[in-house]
Amino acid sequence: MELRQLRHFLTLAEECHFGRAAARLHVAQPALSQQVKQLERELGVSLFNRSTRHVELTEAGQHLVEHARALVAEEERTLVHMRELATGHAGRVSVGFIGTATYDVLPRVARTVRARLPRITLELRGETLTPQLAEGLRSGAFDLAVLRGALDAQDIRTVPLRSEPLMAVLPSHHRLAGRPSVPLADLAGEPFVVHPSQARSSMYDLVLAACRRAGFRPAQLLEVGETATLVVLVAAGHGVALVPASVRSLSVEGVTYMPLAEPESVDLLLARRARPESAAVDQVASVIVDCAGG
């Protein structure tokens, strides 16, 4: 039993007329009659009562209509889903985000994918450090990663998304909080709240490099893993911090975000495996570029 036979059967069941059914199917009437007879032979039952003037379903034919409609509908759903997979409009895509991109890029990507690509299932994970994101790409835990800091790896390729200024995060009661901008050198005596050190976080090296250019190294460093915790600790008076400007979207009472008098910038990158990926990954990558670029 072929799906083509079932489609011919359903059309004849709706028309109850060989000529009209053949015209709808764009086949010759004898060919339609032959298809129906073959289906009846395979099933071992008569599906239609035929006369020179009239064609009507038998009891067996009436029972077959429901099953045939379900099979044809399932085939159509399968074809649609396969086309969506082929064009990247369906599938599952996992994306990891560096902590400082969690609060502005991640929500935009989620909203945009839901609006543009509703058949794609997104798995999103924020507040992840760059080394973990790179390892997740290699292991397959992530299809895409939004991170900071260059990756020297042949199996991962990156695309620049944007460059943004670093800003100082100060407690709202800080002596410099009311100024239009703050010279980074004026924070030389302050404890700094920073992301983790060494190879665990790209932001740690970026912050300390900016401080070196300003002529000092922070005397005291308090390391925390999450950007939200970093800002909360500044609000609690444990120190000051430097963050990308986009972190301003993380509103925490008791802190002031201030531009630096001598601008320092940091790059945001989209990383993915170097080998070709599914069309769905390509579609989501385009959305990330649109949402984070500029």
Residue 294 has pLDDT above 60, yes or no: no
DSSP, res 260: B
Q: With a cut of 70, say whether residue 81 has pLDDT above it.
A: no
Same topology for domains 3-87 and 165-265, yes or no?
Answer: no
Superfamily for the 165-265 domain: Periplasmic binding protein-like II (3.40.190.10)
Residue 110 has pLDDT above 90, yes or no: yes
Give the tens place of pLDDT for each residue, 241-288: 999 998 998 889 999 999 999 999 999 999 999 988 888 999 999 999
Tokens 């800091």 found at: 149
The residue ranges of DSSP E strands in the chain, in sequence order, are 48-50, 55-57, 91-97, 120-125, 144-147, 156-171, 192-194, 221-223, 241-244, 255-259, 265-273
Residue 222 has pLDDT above 90, yes or no: yes
**pLDDT at res. 199:** 60
CA 245/CA 229 separation, integer angstroms: 17
Is the pLDDT assigned to residue 62 strictly greater than 70? yes
The predicted structure's pLDDT at residue 82:
72
Buried b (16+ CB within 10 A) or exposed e, 182-213: bebeebeebbbbbbeeeeebbbbbbbbebbee
User: Does the pTM exceed 0.95?
Assistant: no
Least confident range of 16-20, 72-76, 103-107: 72-76
Indicate the fold that domain 91-161+267-292 takes in CATH.
D-Maltodextrin-Binding Protein; domain 2 (3.40.190)
Tokens standing for residue 169: 């995060």
- pLDDT of 178 strictly over 60: yes
The model's confidence at residue 12, banded by pLDDT at 50, 70 and 90, is confident
Per-domain boundaries in the chain? 3-87, 91-161+267-292, 165-265
What separation in angstroms does the CA of 228 have from each of 91, 191, 204, 238? 31, 18, 15, 14
CA dist list (Å): 15 to 12, 223, 234: 5, 75, 75
Q: What is the CATH number of domain 3-87?
A: 1.10.10.10
When comparing pLDDT for 254 and 63, which is higher?
Answer: 254
Task: Decide if pLDDT at 86 tops 80.
Answer: no
The mean predicted confidence, pLDDT, of the chain is 89
Banded model confidence at residue 200, pLDDT cuts 50, 70, 90? low
What is the tens place of the pLDDT at every residue in 132-157? Answer: 898 999 999 999 999 987 777 888 99
- Count of CA atoms in the C-beta half-sphere (13 A) of 172: 8
Average pLDDT over residues 5-33: 86
1 confidence band (pLDDT: 50, 70, 90): low
